[in-house]
Structure 1
Amino acid sequence: MMTDQPPQTLADLGLFTGAPQYENFCRIKDFADVREMAPSSKPHAWPVGDTITLPDAYEVDGTVRSTEEFLADTDTAALLVLIDGEIRYERYLLTGGPDVPWVSMSVAKSFVSALVGIAVEEGHIRSIDEAISAYVPVLPGSAYDRVTIRDVLQMSSGARWNEDYSDPDSDIFRLSLATLGIGGTLDGFVANMVRASKPGTVCRYNSGETQVLGALVAHATGRTMGDYMQEKLCEPLGMTSPGYWVLDPAGTEMAYGGLNLTARDYARIGELYRCGGVWQGEQIIPATWVRDSVTVAAPHLEPGRPVIGGHPTGLGYGYHWWLPAGDRGEFSAIGVYNQFVYVAPTARTTIVKLSANRRYGTSAKESTNREMETVTFLRALARRNN
């Protein structure tokens, strides 16, 4: 049951406790400080094609499961399917809606990666083989001192990190407290992180990596990340609704997960990457950046090698994009509570799933988190209609 008292701050959400969140994820701006990004001055409405049907069931590890039960069990709020840039399926449940912003969680990471790529193309960042500490102030000898931007993009900085959502003493919880200004600021947190392994050898999923990339964008461009995204993504991609970044008390964006957009606007990053960085004839992100972002570039990035919360995952990693195993070239932005922007280029398909899976993070088990199952479901959906 939802509490009678609405949350007053992000700390009141009770994340990863099993508490329902669908009443909260649609209105983060009501109880967090945010930086708003305006809709584009030239909004692009998605064309609508013939409606497709969902498969009645899909198969996971030899077990047939009901699509409708899956959508209900994971507290799905939005499911949007684009094929060839046309809306072919759009459905909202619970508190979702076409004009409802939803918190991105780590889907934001892929947007931050895109902004880094644009900043490189514009010359604000000379090379991703430079040390990130050449741009971002960090403590000498700390995790990000003299570590390349490339290693940070690939979650391979060597920083010590625990992203276990079921552990209240983990680093991700301490980073979340920094968002609230408890124990310091977001910039202060990443500036003092500790190194645990040689950079470029282990892909350890680490939300601090994205936070320091957000700082990189801000320091390199001399602008807030939200302002830069407004100009470089929201405006040219024709976003139709306001967007929001959650801020810490110092006014720094929660780069690792604080973006809020509608399902239709989340789909734009998927379509942009599906089309090699081109949007309506304009090269928004360099094609080489898109290609490198969704390519496994080293053995420690191959599917099954990246580690999250101390456990290997069945996915590979690029520049802040997840890469499913196989030869179909799929890639996905993924956030906790089952947020997905999944792209299947060979099927010409982009799918957005926004969710509030209340069991997420209550354990480290796939049976509660259901991320690999969601990948399997989205794959089945993309292949069914192509």
Structure 2
Amino acid sequence: MRKFGKWAGRILLALILAAVVVGLWKREEITRLWAVNTLFDEGKIVQNFSHMDAAFLTTTLPRGTGGVSPLPKGDAIDLPDGSDTWLKARAVTSLLVIKHGETRFEDYYLGTGPEDRRISWSVAKSYLSALLGVLLEEGAIASIDDPVTTYAPLLVGSAYDGASIRNVLNMASGVTFDEDYFDFNSDINRMGRVVALGGTLDDFTASFTVRFAEPGEIWKYVSIDTHVIGMVIRGATGRSVPDLLTEKIIAPLGLEQDGQYITDGAGVAFVLGGLNFTTRDYARFGLMIAQDGVYGGKQLVSAAWIAASTKASAPTAPGKIRYGFQWWVPADAHDGEFFGRGIYGQYIYIDQPSGVLIVATGADRHFRDTGAYEQNLEMFRRIAKTL
């Protein structure tokens, strides 16, 4: 028994030492994984959403060397009645309202400020749509009706084999993907762990082999479709999305701060939700879109692409919220009303006819509750009417 106890002690010591060694060796990965697993925790979510580089690998999006022009200011407005209740209920962290290019309201909440770089979540999808439009105009991509495998051959034999670029722009690939953010084992959360642990999103995407419908038949929001758009862009150009986005859009906008893009272990951008900019810099992008692709007197994205991408074109269900090319369109929208949207309350809302742009960021842990989206849309419309 003494020998057994002696050997058992040595084995236990060896296991402890091994764990320490592995812990030191993988300390960064373990730290990121812990940060990801507590990313949305109450009491941490607001801080986390302004410091995403603590949880993920990131790359810098330089703001350009041409300087930045301050957003012009107009007469300040008061928010509509009930706004205080809305701000609290939806855990809004920043709100910026622009009318005809002039800032009419700007404020920050829950301890955040104008210098915070805020996570975009799926608002990033709308940025990627704009970049794709530029590359189409330049001829790097021939047509959105080309198969995605023309530019992303890794997807041959996957569930994306047979899908077109149009299909993935419309979130109509038919690929089976579980986007339940509250299920630890869902596909979207497995994707998050791949990113946190330095895995590769291309391989993860190519691993999906099942479709619930043929491409183009049914709309179903699956964020992995946007990663395929990123694969198409990289395959068509031989360049990274951060480099292209910086050159074509970010630097010409002239941001107040460098941006950040979350990346996977291969340095590939998390294009479906990984941008980090200040609220004002999100507004600069929104202004460019609202102005039919023009900013600072330059046509950054073609007006034709802005019109096509923000039009409801996906095969969504009648009477429900609609979708374009990585832009949302309200079910009862008037012409020129659309928005980019990210989980937990991130919005770039645009009403082109009235010249209104609203940027809102949040840390809304109840964003999936019945009526949450409707409350946001109603408030944006009420704010627009006050102008």
* Superposition TM-score tier, normalisation by shorter sequence: 0.7 to 0.9
Instruction: Assess if the C-alpha contact under 8 Å between 2:35 and 2:54 holds in 1.
Output: no
Q: 2:351 aligns with which of 344, 354, 359?
A: 344
State the AA in 2 paired with 1:24.
Answer: N
Distance 1:23 1:15, change over 3 A: closer
State the AA in 2 paired with 1:12.
Answer: A
Q: 2:69 aligns with which of 26, 44, 50?
A: 44
Per-residue CA deviation, residues 149-180 of structure 1 (Å, 9 max, x unaligned), is 01110001111122122222222112212212
CA apart distance, 1:263: 0.5
Per-residue CA deviation, residues 328-375 of structure 1 (Å, 9 max, x unaligned), is 421100000000000011221110001111334xxx5325xx222211
1:287 matched to 2:312? The reply is no
Specify which structure has the higher proportion of helix.
Answer: 2
CA apart distance, 1:276: 1.0
Per-residue CA deviation, residues 268-323 of structure 1 (Å, 9 max, x unaligned), is 2221111111113221111111101111225x23664xxxxxxxxx4100000000
Instruction: Assess if the C-alpha contact under 8 Å between 1:82 and 1:89 holds in 2.
Output: yes
Instruction: Assess if the C-alpha contact under 8 Å between 2:358 and 2:380 holds in 1.
Output: yes
1:175 matched to 2:191? The reply is yes
Q: Aligned to 1:334, what secondary structure does the other structure show?
A: strand
Instruction: Assess if the C-alpha contact under 8 Å between 1:296 and 1:302 holds in 2.
Output: no
Instruction: Assess if the C-alpha contact under 8 Å between 2:33 and 2:197 holds in 1.
Output: no
CA apart distance, 1:95: 3.4
Q: 2:325 aligns with which of 319, 328, 353?
A: 319
Instruction: Assess if the C-alpha contact under 8 Å between 1:138 and 1:190 holds in 2.
Output: no
Residues 146-165 of structure 1 correspond to what in structure 2 (within 5 A)? 146-165=162-181
State the AA in 2 paired with 1:165.
Answer: Y
- Name the counterpart of 2:380: 378
Q: Aligned to 2:45, what secondary structure does the other structure show?
A: coil
CA apart distance, 1:31: 3.5
Identity %: 37
Largest Rg, 1 or 2: 2
Q: Aligned to 2:107, what secondary structure does the other structure show?
A: strand
Q: Supply the distance in 1 between the matched residues of 2:318 and 2:275 (Cα, whole angstroms).
A: 27
Q: Supply the distance in 2 between the matched residues of 1:10 and 1:104 (Cα, whole angstroms).
A: 20
Q: Supply the distance in 2 between the matched residues of 1:267 and 1:21 (Cα, whole angstroms).
A: 23
Residues 22-171 of structure 1 correspond to what in structure 2 (within 5 A)? 22-42=46-66, 43-57=68-82, 67-171=83-187
Q: Aligned to 2:60, what secondary structure does the other structure show?
A: strand
State the AA in 2 paired with 1:33.
Answer: L
- Name the counterpart of 1:12: 35
Tell me the number of residue pairs that the alignment of Structure 1 and Structure 2 aligns: 354
Q: CA RMSD in A?
A: 1.9
Q: 2:363 aligns with which of 352, 356, 365?
A: 356
State the AA in 2 paired with 1:233.
Answer: I
Q: Supply the distance in 2 between the matched residues of 1:8 and 1:70 (Cα, whole angstroms).
A: 35
- Name the counterpart of 1:334: 341
Q: Supply the distance in 2 between the matched residues of 1:186 and 1:9 (Cα, whole angstroms).
A: 17
- Name the counterpart of 1:60: none
- Name the counterpart of 2:280: 264
- Name the counterpart of 1:310: none
Distance 1:168 1:220, change over 3 A: same
Q: Supply the distance in 2 between the matched residues of 1:41 and 1:222 (Cα, whole angstroms).
A: 25
Q: Supply the distance in 2 between the matched residues of 1:171 and 1:214 (Cα, whole angstroms).
A: 18
Distance 1:162 1:111, change over 3 A: same
Instruction: Assess if the C-alpha contact under 8 Å between 2:39 and 2:48 holds in 1.
Output: no
Q: Supply the distance in 1 between the matched residues of 2:61 and 2:107 (Cα, whole angstroms).
A: 25
Instruction: Assess if the C-alpha contact under 8 Å between 1:20 and 1:358 holds in 2.
Output: no
8-17 or 267-276, which moves further after superposition? Answer: 8-17
- Name the counterpart of 2:202: 187
Q: Aligned to 1:350, what secondary structure does the other structure show?
A: strand
Moved over 3 A (4+): 15-20, 301-304
Distance 1:355 1:276, change over 3 A: same
State the AA in 2 paired with 1:270.
Answer: G
Distance 1:93 1:40, change over 3 A: same
Instruction: Assess if the C-alpha contact under 8 Å between 2:152 and 2:235 holds in 1.
Output: yes
CA apart distance, 1:113: 0.8
CA apart distance, 1:251: 0.9
Q: Supply the distance in 2 between the matched residues of 1:192 and 1:213 (Cα, whole angstroms).
A: 16
Instruction: Assess if the C-alpha contact under 8 Å between 2:55 and 2:196 holds in 1.
Output: no
Q: Aligned to 1:138, what secondary structure does the other structure show?
A: helix
What is the TM-score normalised by the length of structure 2?
0.87
Q: Aligned to 1:72, what secondary structure does the other structure show?
A: helix
Q: Supply the distance in 1 between the matched residues of 2:380 and 2:226 (Cα, whole angstroms).
A: 25
State the AA in 1 paired with 2:165.
Answer: I
Point out where structure 1 has 5 or more consecutive residues left out of the alignment. Answer: 1-6, 58-66, 305-313
Q: Aligned to 2:179, what secondary structure does the other structure show?
A: coil
- Name the counterpart of 1:273: 289
CA apart distance, 1:204: 0.6
CA apart distance, 1:96: 2.3
Q: Supply the distance in 1 between the matched residues of 2:54 and 2:227 (Cα, whole angstroms).
A: 23
Instruction: Assess if the C-alpha contact under 8 Å between 1:267 and 1:352 holds in 2.
Output: yes
State the AA in 1 paired with 2:202.
Answer: D
Instruction: Assess if the C-alpha contact under 8 Å between 1:138 and 1:144 holds in 2.
Output: no
